[in-house]
Amino acid sequence: MSEHLSALIVVLPLLAAPVCLLLRQPTLVRIWTSLVAWTCLILAWTLLGRVETGGTISYSMGGWDPPLGIEYRLDALNAYLLVIVTAIASVVFPSGTILTGTSLPEGRQHLYFAALLLCLAGLLGISSTGDLFNVFVFVEITSLSSYTLISLGKDRRALTAAFSYLVMGTIGGTFLLLGIGFLYQVTGTLNMQDLAVRLPDLLQSRTVLAGFAFLMVGGSIKLAVFPLHQWLPNAYTHAPSAVSAFIAATATKVSYYLLARVIFTIFGAAFVFDALHLHWLLLPLALMAMFAGSLAAVFQTDLKRLLAYSSIAQIGYMILGLCMASEAGLTGGIVHLFNHALMKGGLFLAVASIVMRTGSSSVAGISGLGRKMPITMAAMVVGGLSLIGVPGTAGFVSKWYLVVGALERGWHFVGILILLSSLIAVVYVWRLVEAAYFGEPEHEVCDVPWNCWLPTWILIGGTLVFGFWTEVTVGGAAAAARAILGVTP
Amino acid sequence: MSVKPPMRMREKVLLRVASQVFIPLILLFGLYVQFHGDFGPGGGFQAGVIFAAGFVLFGLIFGLEALQRVVPLSVVESCVALGLLIYGGVGVSCLLRGGQFLDYGVLDHHSSMHGQHLGILIIELGVGLTVAATMLAIFYAMAGRGRT
């Protein structure tokens, strides 16, 4: 059975979702969803260990060998990503509907869990498949389930947010499909490894170039790369809080993986960066995202929207790692996937607790909450410090590698800009601290029960732990960076 | 002199009789497309849509309530789930019989061709069930708008 793990990790949540529809009873469904998420985490951890010791794992679906059949192919990068996604799911799912900040209608709660599991299955599918068309199918599964999840938010603006995400997401998905179609037309194959073998002779073809452009733009829409990020703030703001936490911590990470896979595995860094000079396009966009995202975050009056704009800035950092195309840069980018998932997931969960107690997510509403809800607000502060990149937190580790990567490439100004943009993060985090600890309390509230602050603190505690103990995170990310760069240690 | 209220569809003899003739034929054709799908054009997706069309016609003529007495919403939801589970279940049973996921060849001990045939037949059944149930769920959602 053990050789089937790479298929099971996708099949399990995919089949667990319809089971939710049959179980129906809310408590039962919640326990079931949590069990599935935990099992997936164990599977992902096992797979990561196997990839580290035994190298790439290839699995042929239906017994049809690649490149004809669909191949699931795990290397150090996907296995690392699987661990990120399943870890976040294992923390967010057990809290169930308490932290959604919205009341789901009685008798329809099992559908929420089914959508969560489908979203998880889609994300894991994108991460583990080695077949380009299969990627598109899972992108659609993820997107459709996340539109549903976002539209469940507490007011009607969630519907328009979900709809504009649907429009942008569909455009992104269509671009991906067009790109895949173009590549298939020229090469006659959909398998990523096979494409990588056949494409080098065809790189002069306009069809291939157009296909590459479509894939990059489609992936960038899904990742919300500046200036294609317009859907993201509304979607994160109006979605149920727990959903914002899950999607913010996982969906963009998986899209980032997709871009990295297209650039490094399918087309190869030599073509993308040496022939097309893509970094001269991506680098300014990444820098603009870092500054525009952080500056926009400073002026937000809603906590979730503030975090959403900060996400856009953080995506800028990750893209920066991608453009460096060096081991240190990519390590920084990939380890930032992990660290950002921890901090943004934790921060959104902290906001979920605040919404649960005060009923609003406005920045003004947290006035004086430092005394009323000490546990939650402490998590918020630690998460904020990690966003800034204070030494001792996980955010520092990823920024360190990014700065090292920038200096290695001789991009000294980029190194300076990373530090400058972190200073803007100080401003928006300080606004939160100021309101929470120096304002007068407006609400007579007490802190949330343990089952609400525990998931928050697991993630926020993670940012502290992985700020010091970087063996797993940086080690895994470095292995992933080497794997996609094709460097042998 | 009072104005006669407009006739409801079920009171129109022509529609009622014609639909009563057509519905069994539509369902039968749906089943034909389903099970003949491996020899001719067809398969689970098309069959599911055709099969659901029969129910939708019934709902249009005799009203949503009558249709929901025949197929309640909870049954529809369960069928959506069941179809997907049948599909996945075939894959998992292939795993348990020692093949790869969805490797139908191992489903028959004697001949892998028979296994392939059996596998695709059951899978298409799952697809058909899910598609038909999803069509009905969409019909219920749209026809039921404005009523609570």
Cβ of A15 within 8 Å of Cβ of B85? The answer is: yes
Cβ of B101 within 8 Å of Cβ of A19? The answer is: no
Q: Is A63 on the interface with B (CB under 8 A)?
A: yes
Which residue of chain B has the CA closest to A16?
B85
Q: A301 CA to chain B: closest CA distance, Å?
A: 36
Q: Is the pLDDT of residue B27 over 80?
A: yes
Residues of chain B in contact with residue A22, where contact means CB-CB under 8 angstroms, are 78, 81-82, 85
> Shortest CB distance from B99 goes to which of A1, A20, A63?
A63
Q: What is the pLDDT of residue B2?
A: 65
Residue A479 lies in a domain: yes
Q: What is the pLDDT of residue B98?
A: 81
Residues of chain A in contact with residue B91, where contact means CB-CB under 8 angstroms, are 11
Whose CA is closest to B36, among B50, B19, B56, B22?
Answer: B50
Q: Is A68 on the interface with B (CB under 8 A)?
A: no
d(CA A388, CA B90): 50
Summarised one tens digit per residue, pLDDT across range A132-155 is 999 999 999 999 999 999 988 888
Q: Which residues have C-beta within 8 Å of that of residue A90, sequence separation ≥ 6? A: A34, A37, A38, A40, A41
Q: Is A1 on the interface with B (CB under 8 A)?
A: yes
Q: How many helices (H) and strands (E) does chain B have?
A: 5, 0
Residue A337 lies in a domain: yes
Distance of CA A413 to CAs A128, A277, A287, A403, Å? 36, 19, 11, 10
Question: Which element (helix H / strand E) includes A72?
Answer: strand A71-74
How many domains is chain A built from? Answer: 1
Weakly modelled stretches of chain A, pLDDT under 70 = 1, 101-103, 488-489
Q: Is there a contact between A108 and B77 (Cβ–Cβ < 8 Å)?
A: no
Residue A317 lies in a domain: yes
Q: What is the dihedral of CA A281, A286, A288, A290, to 10 degrees?
A: -170
Residues of B contacting chain A (CB within 8 angstroms): 77-78, 80-82, 84-85, 88-89, 91-92, 95, 99-105
Cβ of B80 within 8 Å of Cβ of A19? The answer is: no
How many domains is chain B built from? Answer: 1
d(CA A68, CA A295): 49
Residue B148 lies in a domain: no
Q: Which residues have C-beta within 8 Å of that of residue A21, sequence separation ≥ 6? A: A110, A111, A114, B77, B78, B80, B81
Which residue of chain A has the CA closest to B107?
A62
Distance of CA A435 to CAs A120, A365, A384, A428, Å? 35, 8, 14, 11
Coil/strand/helix, residue A60: strand
d(CA A172, CA A205): 23
> Shortest CB distance from B85 goes to which of A7, A18, A59?
A18
Residue B4 lies in a domain: no
Cβ of B92 within 8 Å of Cβ of A15? The answer is: yes
B102: containing domain: 9-143
Q: Is there a contact between A333 and A321 (Cβ–Cβ < 8 Å)?
A: yes
Cβ of A62 within 8 Å of Cβ of B103? The answer is: yes
Which residue of chain A has the CA closest to B89?
A15
Q: Is the pLDDT of residue B55 over 90?
A: yes
Query: How far is CA A209 from its chain centroid?
Result: 27
Residue B53 lies in a domain: yes
The number of beta carbons lying within 10 Å of the beta carbon of residue A39 is: 17
Residue B1 lies in a domain: no
d(CA B99, CA A335): 36
Q: Is A453 on the interface with B (CB under 8 A)?
A: no
CA angle, residues A35, A38, A44, in degrees to nearest 5: 140
Which residue of chain A has the CA closest to B97?
A1
Q: What is the pLDDT of residue A157?
A: 87
Which residue of chain A has the CA closest to B94?
A62
Q: How would you label A343-356 residue by residue, b for 16+ Cβ within 10 Å and e otherwise?
A: bbbbbbbbbbbbbb
> Shortest CB distance from A62 goes to which of B77, B82, B101?
B101
d(CA B128, CA A127): 29
Q: Is there a contact between A247 and A236 (Cβ–Cβ < 8 Å)?
A: yes
Q: What is the pLDDT of residue B1?
A: 55
Interface test with B, best of A1, A2, A4 (most B CBs within 10 A): A4
B144: confidence class by pLDDT, cuts 50, 70, 90: confident
Residue A488 lies in a domain: yes
Q: What is the pLDDT of residue A279?
A: 86
Which residue of chain B has the CA closest to A111?
B77
Interface test with B, best of A14, A15, A129 (most B CBs within 10 A): A15
d(CA A332, CA A328): 6
In this structure, chain A runs to a length of 489
CA angle, residues A350, A469, A223, in degrees to nearest 5: 55
d(CA A146, CA A152): 10
Summarised one tens digit per residue, pLDDT across range B89-103 is 998 888 888 888 888
> How many cross-chain Cβ pairs, A to B, lie less than 8 Å apart?
54
Radius of gyration of chain A (CA): 21
Q: What is the pLDDT of residue B147?
A: 62
Q: How would you label A291-305 residue by residue, b for 16+ Cβ within 10 Å and e otherwise?
A: bbbbebbbebebbbb
B139: confidence class by pLDDT, cuts 50, 70, 90: very high
Cβ of B101 within 8 Å of Cβ of A4? The answer is: yes
Q: What is the pLDDT of residue A489?
A: 54
Cβ of A11 within 8 Å of Cβ of B80? The answer is: no
A338: containing domain: 277-489
Interface test with A, best of B79, B102, B113, B138 (most A CBs within 10 A): B102
> Shortest CB distance from A62 goes to which of B78, B81, B102?
B102
For B60, the token pair is 């249009």
Residues of chain A in contact with residue B105, where contact means CB-CB under 8 angstroms, are 63
Q: Is A29 on the interface with B (CB under 8 A)?
A: no
Residue A303 lies in a domain: yes
Whose CA is closest to A176, among A215, A131, A132?
Answer: A215
Cβ of A63 within 8 Å of Cβ of B82? The answer is: no
Please give the mean pLDDT across all residues of chain B: 87
